[in-house]
Amino acid sequence: MEPLCRNLDLKPATFPPISPRFPKPISLSLRSPRFSCSDRQVTKKWRVSVGNANSEAKFSSQELVRAIGKGLLAFAAAAAANYAVVCCDYPAMAESLTLAFPVSRTTEVNSVQRTLVETWGLIRETFVDPTFNHQDWDQKFQQTMTEMFPLKSADAAYMKISGMLSTLGDPFTRIISPREYESFRIGSNGNLQGVGLFINTEPRTGHLVVLSCVEGGPAARAGLHQGDELVEINGEKVDGIDIEVAIQKLRGRVGTTVTVKVHRGNDFAGDSSIKEVKLPREYIKLSPISTATIPHKTPDGRLTKMGYVKLLAFSQTAAADMENAINEMKSQGVHSYILDLRNNPGGLVKAGLDVAQIWLDGDETLVNTIDREGNLLPINMVNGHAITHDPLVVLVNEGSASASEILAGALHDNRRATLVGHRTFGKGKIQSVTVLHDGSALFVTVAKYLSPALHDIDQVGIAPDVQCTTEMLNSPKESTSKEKSSVSSSREADSCVLVAEHELDIQESKGTAS
């Protein structure tokens, strides 16, 4: 069997001689047989010995991370060690690694050094690019640890970790502080205090752009739009800062305000393209679903009902809320559906897959993943049962990203839905989130994904079957629709919704419902 990685034999870095003031260096040895090229993964076991102690403990890889977090690897400042040596041996692959680094006496920095070890190990084991952007990742770790040693604050030390991660060339692989992670969790649960603004990193430029605004929220009322580029927050330029840092600056206690500057869309013609607004922070309830029943007259004159469902984000409750909404509209006599994913920035990938299974039967492929070794792994349903087989159209645009693209691709490639709108955002990466010992969180891109038909999505997006104009119609049609929840009245003047209604008529006339 050919090794998955080259043999490593890194000598300890050259540091100043150990003075009598310091005790002997800490020595850590980690032993982990990697899995072979077969489909069966061998559970990783680690042997950890600290200092001169003869005690030995065995850990799984996850337990090792927890052990580091609890300080079992003697990174506590009280150890007063001058150096630490990490030795990793991979007998199954004849791979060995030795790293040496100075251990800080500053308690705050010492704690972040443990976080750095966790980060380095998780990236080494799971990051989608096994070349680590064509750099020696172990040497990068050693360099970062050495640069961290003389620092005096945790903030400065965390900046070193962020700098190390930035060399991977993936803006979505990042670390966030405990406070930022708590805000992330609150957002995923659907409740937060902020300005109602969804932003993301544009992968081609690295700039922060507005994906969408929560309807009726402070940002929407101030006239911010999808495509606006975020320039400043409270007078501080945001070019190059981490997205979670920007989100944290926008959120805050209800009753306070935040001032933002944005470039208006793609208009960079001068100062006139800059818009500055002061936004009040409010309680933002992110109910993921908005619905409406649309009375519709078919080409042959029959009066029918169409169901309109707008999915705002893939939160933990998205699939359950979607299923409840569809079942209720079915009870009202709805026989065809428009699923609106426009300006949906994504969220939990599992939620996207769960929503797909509401519409699909059998064992269809929902998405294909490609791991770091280039292995293609389809994710299929198991004995799926759709709750409705009525015709379906999905609306997408440039703000439809990540889990939205997974869902749209699954429904389109399995010939369950027609896509109407504009090409999607193009984020074809899947990430894992690991909570580290200090409550911070590491986001790691662990795989790329392709649609069921093996279409690449990353930085490409999904092209719709039918395009529609983004302008509103001059004469909104009259409607007597009774809406279940708050859906903008402008929907009645939305040309894409009208195109979707036309496509549903075509599906019904051809009998193309699944």
SS (H, E, C) 275-316: EEEEEECEEEECCCEEEEEEEEECCCCCEEEEEEEEECCECC
DSSP secondary structure code for residue 451 in this structure: -
DSSP 1-19: ---SS----PPPP--PPPP
Angle formed at CA 194 by CA 182 and CA 153, multiple of 5 degrees: 45
Q: Judging by beta carbons within 10 Å of its beta carbon (0-12, 13-18, 19+), is residue 316 exposed, middle or buried?
A: middle
Four-point Cα dihedral 482, 485, 486, 490, nearest 10 = -40
DSSP secondary structure code for residue 228 in this structure: P
Report yes or no: 117 and 436 within 8 Å, Cβ to Cβ: no
Catalytic option among 140, 160, 261, 427: 427
Report yes or no: 203 and 195 within 8 Å, Cβ to Cβ: no
As given in the structure block, the two tokens for residue 374 are 């280039």
Report yes or no: 340 and 372 within 8 Å, Cβ to Cβ: no
Closest CA to 87 of 132, 138, 125: 138
Q: Judging by beta carbons within 10 Å of its beta carbon (0-12, 13-18, 19+), is residue 185 exposed, middle or buried?
A: middle
Amino acid at 226: Q
Report yes or no: 299 and 319 within 8 Å, Cβ to Cβ: no
- Bridge partners of 198? 212
Backbone angles phi, psi at 447, to 5 degrees: -160, 160
Catalytic option among 402, 404, 440, 451: 402
Distance CA 168, CA 131 (A): 9
Q: Judging by beta carbons within 10 Å of its beta carbon (0-12, 13-18, 19+), is residue 43 exposed, middle or buried?
A: exposed
219 alpha carbon, distance to own chain's centre: 22
Tokens 């489909």 belong to: 39
Distance CA 236, CA 226 (A): 21
Residue 479 bears catalytic tag:
no
186, containing H or E segment = helix 178-189
Residue 402 bears catalytic tag:
yes
Backbone angles phi, psi at 427, to 5 degrees: -110, 100
Which segments within 165-251 are labelled E, that is strand? 174-176, 191-194, 197-201, 208-213, 229-233, 236-237
Residues identified as active-site:
402, 427
